Chains A and B, each alone.
Chain A
Amino acid sequence: MKAYDPLVKQLLDGELTLAELPPELQAEGSEALRLLAAVDRRAVMLPETLDARVMDALRTRARVVPVVPLARRSLGWITEPLELRLRVRPWALGAALAAAAALVLVLRGPGGMISRQGPAATVSALPESLLVRFVLYAPGAKQVGLAGTFNQWNQSATPLVRAGNDGVWTVTLTLPAGQHQYGFVVDGRRWVTDPAAPAVDDGFGRRNSVIAVGGTLRAGRVL
């Protein structure tokens, strides 16, 4: 189908009326106006709960779970995350590259996601690597993946598994010491960053969550 006549485009821009178009363009003009008539101008109101989620994220975004030697922990740590918390100030650390992440996200309904605050990335120390547990609260999700620099951003390489029937998804990885960027992929299409975690631009104008493991966290303080 050919392009609209320039006069019809002026009609769509509101610079001409249909009556001002020459007779041979009346049909094309009418068709174009039907397009604009289909525009959805209904207001979109967001839930008031968004306010609380934002504020919760801001209040807790600096809280992280510190590194604890694995030898001091039984295997029970996998199901019982550490309650120790470390307060850091990522804005004082440049691009927020020096904190472990706190990750709990909520999937609202079949297609919608709402991020929630809370500690869920639990880190335990190994000599050259760290066990990191990622948790996503997403009761509406059918599948959840973890993509990051540690798996070449392969969204299917590290699936999370359901932990019970309460909508919690989890996966535990051994990550080498260093900084890692990551995000969750819900139902294969929705990218979710963690508002409670430090983040950096991904080069496309958006942010990836960041976890720094190993040398940047020591004995409850950031070095």
Chain B
Amino acid sequence: MVRAVLGGDVERYAELVRRYRDRYARYAARMLGSADAAEDAVQDAFIRAYDQLAQCREPDNFAGWFFLILRNRCFAERRREARMGAGPGDIESRPIPASEQPDGMMDAKERLHALQQALLDLTPEQREVFVLKHVEGLSYDEIATRIGGSVPSLKMRMHRAYDRLRQRLKDRM
């Protein structure tokens, strides 16, 4: 399909979009704090990937190449928010007050939202390693293959993230 698009068949790109639309949506949502933000990021990434398709050196590995474009987009979004002084702050990323939760669901839901909020307080690099390992279920070796870096450096990043999350969630876990 990549070769067909590069050969001028633009409409074939729709097949790539359809095939890979959801593959990294969860990664983007956890990185950015909401599904809406992930949708924007994935859309932008597909358009950018189209612009740069000639630079895709391994057409058979479009997914891996596309992931790196989406990753850059997610990192840039977080840096931009930091520069503009605005946090992600979407409603779905805010901890839900316990009083709003039905009995029995309070702890689990509150923890889920509290953790999501705490993840957004990590550096993008720390958050990414956490998301890839504990949301996507990748091993350190797989993470290193996907985003580069050594396993020891990824572990160090993750361990700092653990400590930061513990500090951030000290009253919630």
* Closest residue of A by beta carbon distance from B165: A35
Q: How far is the CA of A153 from the CA of B9 in the complex (A)?
A: 38
A69 in the interface, Cβ–Cβ < 8 Å?
A: no
Residues of B within 8 A of A155 (CB): 84
Q: Is residue B36 within 8 Å, beta carbon to beta carbon, of the partner chain?
A: yes
Residue in chain A with minimal CB distance to B155: A13
Q: Name the residue of chain A whose CB is nearest to the CB of B26.
A: A44
Question: What CA separation (Å) do A155 and B36 show in the bound complex?
Answer: 21
Which residue of A has the minimal Cβ distance to B87?
A189
Q: Which residue of A lies closest to B134 (CB)?
A: A39
Pairwise interchain contact B86-A51, C-beta atoms closer than 8 A: no
- Is B121 in the interface zone, CB < 8 Å from A? no
Is residue B96 within 8 Å, beta carbon to beta carbon, of the partner chain? no
Q: Is the CB of A44 within 8 A of B112?
A: no
Q: Given that A54-B17, A54-B43, A204-B79 are contacting pairs, would A36 and B166 also be in contact in the complex, using a CB cutoff of 8 Å?
A: no
The smallest beta-carbon distance between A196 and chain B, in angstroms, is 9
Task: Say which size band chain A's interface belongs to.
Answer: 35 or more
A-B contact count (CB 8 A): 160
Residues A189 and B81 in contact in the complex (CB < 8 Å), given A44-B38, A55-B14, A205-B72: yes
Q: Give A106-140 as 1s and 0s: 1 = Cβ < 8 Å from B's Cβ atoms.
A: 00111111110000000000000000000000000
- Residues in A with CB closer than 8 Å to B35 are 44, 46, 112
- Which of B14, B79, B115, B169 is within 8 Å of A51, CB to CB? B14
The residues in B between 18 and 59 inclusive whose CB is less than 8 angstroms from any CB of A are 18, 21-22, 25-26, 28-30, 34-40, 42-44, 46-48, 50-51
B residues with a Cβ closer than 8 A to A are 10-11, 13-14, 17-18, 21-22, 25-26, 28-30, 34-40, 42-44, 46-48, 50-51, 72-73, 75-77, 79-81, 83-84, 86, 89-91, 108, 111-112, 114-116, 133-135, 137, 140, 155, 158-159, 162-163, 165-167, 169-170, 173
